[in-house]
A and B are shown apart, each in its own frame.
Chain A
Amino acid sequence: MTWAPSERELERQAVRRRLRLQQTAIATVVTVVVAVGLVLLVVSSPGWDRVRDYFLSWSHARDSFAAIAEGFWINIRIFLVAEPCVLVLGALVAIARQTTSPWLAPLRLLATGYTDLFRGIPSIMVVVICGIGIPALGLSGVTSSLFWLTTFALVLCYGAYVAEVFRAGILAIHPTQVASAEALALTRAQTMRFVVLPQAVRRVVPPLMNDLVSLQKDTALISAVGVFEALRAAQDYQGYNFNGTPLLVAAAYFLVVAVPLTRLTDWLMRRQIEKEQGR
């Protein structure tokens, strides 16, 4: 290429660089000041020494680390099984509610009833009812494994939330998109599958991530029926040793999974947008 930036453009680039630097500097200073202020506020509180001894003991953290890791592996497994199930269930329920065929009226009713019911009940109750109630029925062929029963309960709860997220995304697609798909003689199902749903999913990725991270955290609810996952393991240690540090260790485990996951989706989204806009 023969083009070389003009004097003026080089000047402008220098100004832009300077502005960017200024902004970075402001952001850094503000962040540090706020962070230091918060730390000082906590550390200077009258009960800080007691809190530190109870929650921030290095030796207790080290001793409980392995037991909690073992428990957290259960959380991870439940999450990995539940997440795809939740996404599929949520999408199916959302699509079911958007159908118009008179033959599918019972399905629509069922889907609506399901979302209303499971969004309305506290998740911990669903976990307890499934974990204790289902095995108590004594049905043959139904698992009595708490792992599967509680996973099932979480899928039921989050499927209802995620269905509403998907439905919001579907409703947000402009009617002209449906019109142009129908004008190409696509069936309603094809319109949904190839035109509406792909756009809807892209729009709801942030709230979807919300629910998935929330699901990941709520795997701790299964401790309510006695599964020895991360929270339960931490509480167990806490009970024996009268020290709360393991709770923070467990919290750290959850964070280690949640934060990179959110960053990853943010990055994927940004890349997708850039690709679509051709910039």
Chain B
Amino acid sequence: MTATVSGLLEAKALRKSYRGRVVLDGLDLVVAEHDVVCLIGASGSGKSTLLRCLNLLETIDDGIIRFDGREISDPLVDPRSVRREIGMVFQAYNLFPHLSVLDNCTLAQVRVHGVPAGEAADRARALLARFGLADKADAHPDALSGGQQQRVALVRAMCTRPRLLLLDEITAALDPELVGEVLEIVRAEAEAGTTLVLATHEMSFAREVATKVCFLDGGRVLEQGPPEQLFGDPVEERTRAFLARVRS
């Protein structure tokens, strides 16, 4: 299989536009198993759009996406078969407000993955406990703080044991105090070997956990590399300018 050679996820020459506004313009990206890829770049540089394209929430205009060796951008591929394997966490949490925390975490396990209800609940409670949310299992999302909600959203995505986790600026809506508790979970996952692709504004966090940092500009990956190289000695002028801007 070519999968082991080229990586778990591979995007080639992705193009996506909304009403003539080109957001992704020939973007290439390779994510190997156990990689932690951090996407950085200005707002509107296409980070969120890229993540949404990767799990087929958006239909791409052109290019190819391969997941585990299979071309998932083929219209004959059932998107749900892909999404079963890919977890996603959104900037605005997007928890289901009418379900309790526990039910949020067991819904897909039971309905999509066929896990027995008892086992699903056990798995969810164990993860919730690990991230300090044991006493919130029966609460409803709107009763939680932002940081707690985002941790629940992470647990919800992790409960189904996805092979790849997409995180879309998951700390952008949180105040600094709460950012830490959410990033703690991500760090733990990264260390456990989960493959992650995350769009982030947390440069210090990216520097710490990333195996690869990609700087998005003008709808493509302008520069990429290990964090020490990209943050320490960027080649491109625009990368330098961006980093100087976010550091000041």
Contacts and interface: CB of A to CB of B under 8 A. Distances in A.
Interface of A: 3, 5-6, 8-9, 12, 15-16, 19, 174-175, 278-279
A12 B13 contact: no
Contacts of B64: 8
Given A6-B13, A278-B18, A279-B18, A16 B75 contact: yes
A19 B61 contact: no
21 contacts: A3-B25, A3-B62, A5-B61, A5-B62, A6-B13, A6-B62, A6-B63, A8-B63, A8-B64, A9-B61, A9-B62, A9-B63, A12-B75, A15-B74, A15-B75, A15-B76, A16-B75, A175-B142, A278-B18, A278-B19, A279-B19
A8 B75 CA distance: 11
B123 interface: no
A85 to B, nearest CB: 35
B11 to A, nearest CB: 13
B74 A12 contact: yes
Interface in B116-148: 142
A175 B140 CA distance: 14
B73 A12 contact: yes
Interface in B1-33: 13, 15, 18-19, 22, 25
A175 B167 CA distance: 27
A279 B57 CA distance: 14
Please list the 10 inter-chain residue pairs (A to B) with the smallest Cβ-Cβ separation, ordered nearest first. Answer: A9-B62, A15-B75, A16-B75, A6-B62, A5-B62, A12-B75, A8-B64, A19-B75, A15-B76, A3-B15
A27 B86 CA distance: 32
Contacts of B22: 3
Nearest to B97: A174
Nearest to A5: B62
A53 B74 CA distance: 57
B177 to A, nearest CB: 21
A176 to B, nearest CB: 9
Interface in B52-80: 61-64, 73-76
Given A3-B22, A9-B63, 15 more contacts: A3-B15, A5-B61, A5-B62, A6-B62, A8-B62, A9-B61, A9-B62, A12-B73, A12-B75, A15-B74, A15-B75, A16-B75, A19-B76, A278-B18, A278-B19
Contacts of B75: 12, 15-16, 19
Contacts of A3: 15, 22, 25, 62
A185 B22 CA distance: 39
A102 to B, nearest CB: 28
Nearest to A6: B62
A19 B73 CA distance: 15
Most chain A C-beta atoms within 10 Å of own C-beta, residue among B18, B19, B61, B62: B62
Contacts of A279: 18-19
A279 B15 CA distance: 16
Contacts of A9: 61-63
Contacts of A5: 61-62
A16 B76 CA distance: 8
Interface string B177-203: 000000000000000000000000000
